[in-house]
Structure 1
Amino acid sequence: MRALPTLRASVVVHRTRRRRALRRRVLWTGGELLVTVGLALLLLVVHEVWWTDREARQGAEREVEALEREWGTAPTTGTAPSAGTAATAGAAATGRADTGGAGDGSGAPAASEMRRRGGGPQDEGFRQLSPARSQAYAVLVVPRLHLRVPVAEGVDKAEVLNKGYVGHYPGTQQPGQAGNFAVAGHRNTHGEPFRYLNRLRVKDVVQVETGAAVYTYAVDQVLPETSARDSGVVRPVPRSVVKPAYGYGDPGYYLTLTTCTPEYTSRYRLVVWGKLLSMRPR
């Protein structure tokens, strides 16, 4: 009869050990799950930041090569503009483009001067562009950024921007037309063509190549930050409705480049504007 207390003590100790073992298993299983989730998130980040970026960049490069083969041309620019081009761009940025005395103050040649050079936006030498939705139809060249990227119609993420392309805002003008040729591109991931858009400076050269012509613009203004809803920046005469000190008041031949800012966010927009300097048929 005296052995009963010892038996009860053994049962209590056994139950305590089982509870401790169960807690250890729960903690161990929870730790394994946390590690697994952490690794999955890490792989997702690597996929989004590195793999999709690599794939999109390579796909964009192949598209540029395909367009050049279609046009029967080779790349037209190196990593920096020539001295003559840079000098002319500087003149255009101050409203004094070398157009033989014929200009409209926007940096674009007058119609008579364009005809003398071999065509104008409405002439056969500069055929009007009417690309299909998501179709790549031009190449944007930014020598300062060592950038050559396809331009496709529309700003759909899946069909255009996530492929590493630059997207043309529907409703804005096409290259070389009077008004505003406006495009958008990713700043981070998916090829990130506009990663270093903030490095552009006034008088930098930006070219838009199509199968019919090459259009050269000179950077004229940079808006470091504005609202993502600032629709004024892509109007025919672009002017920020959030920061009206930035933009223009007169019709002209404009280029607008937009991307997200700060990096790795989509809260605000960075905007770069340029004016048309010259256009030449291929």
Structure 2
Amino acid sequence: MSLQNFKSLILVCICQIAIVANTFGQSQVIDLWNGKVPGAITNTDYQQIVDSADNWTKMRFVTNPTLDMYPAPKEMATGTAVIICPGGGYWGLAIDHEGAQVAKWLNSLGITAFVLKYRLPNDALMVDKSVGPIQDGQEAIRIVRRNAKEWGIDSTKVGIMGFSAGGHLASTLSTHFNEKVYEVAGSISARPDFSLLIYPVISMEESITHKGSQVNLLGDNPSLERKKHFSNELQVNEETPPAFLVHSIDDGAVPVQNSIGYALALEKYKVPCELHIYQSGGHGYGLGRTENTESSWPDACKKWLKARGFL
């Protein structure tokens, strides 16, 4: 091979890498509130940080919530969109393995993905810390629908996805979507069209909740009424969107009863639901980290989305 041909080959390879990176890459960061965050308390002692420890990358002290947009490749786009809520016990956001990595996987299915970097409950940063995440989630759904035509999205195919405590937020948005938690301009619905709940916190009931999530969201001694209000298995009705759920029976952080209770509530109201319970996996495995069966959930999820008409 001549030197000129070798240089040409290298240039082609570089261009192909650039195309792949662009195809499955984040395109823009969308400011949810344009500086007018509802219920926010200005506190300069808290600055947003990102660090890596204990094998996960986490974001903390979110004061300006955003959506990271990952558009589906045009030649594959289905019109479906999914807003991803990373987990982290309402203390941090697992923005890599429960955020960016998931967004790129959804892109590979032809889905436009958004990673929601929502505010984490904190009395020093918000007037009512229990509604901060819901406000951000509702507005995220409305933003996606408001811009659906421009972004090539079908406004009737906007789903919510959550991992762990992000699953609590996603299930809250699925059951409290009519709850007025901020002044809304216009009549765009905040109801998701479907939910994908991966090892989710669902309940605030003492025997099955994730205690850290409960304390961070509701405080040290929440009333029984407050715990019931945020136990989303108790808030399901006929309008709750269809759900796909994943949990491992050996989850030592969030008991599997969270997903079972939600699935049974959906069944009671005849809302379509699919629940996958795996023998192993523990908690926090994102798209999968072993060769065991829990790592097969993305394929099951893909089949469910196709069966429901979203792919």
TM-score > 0.5 by shorter chain? no
Larger radius of gyration: 1
Q: TM-score category by the smaller chain?
A: under 0.3
- Per chain length, whose mean CA-contact separation is higher, i.e. which structure has more relative contact order (CA < 8 Å, sep 6+)? 1
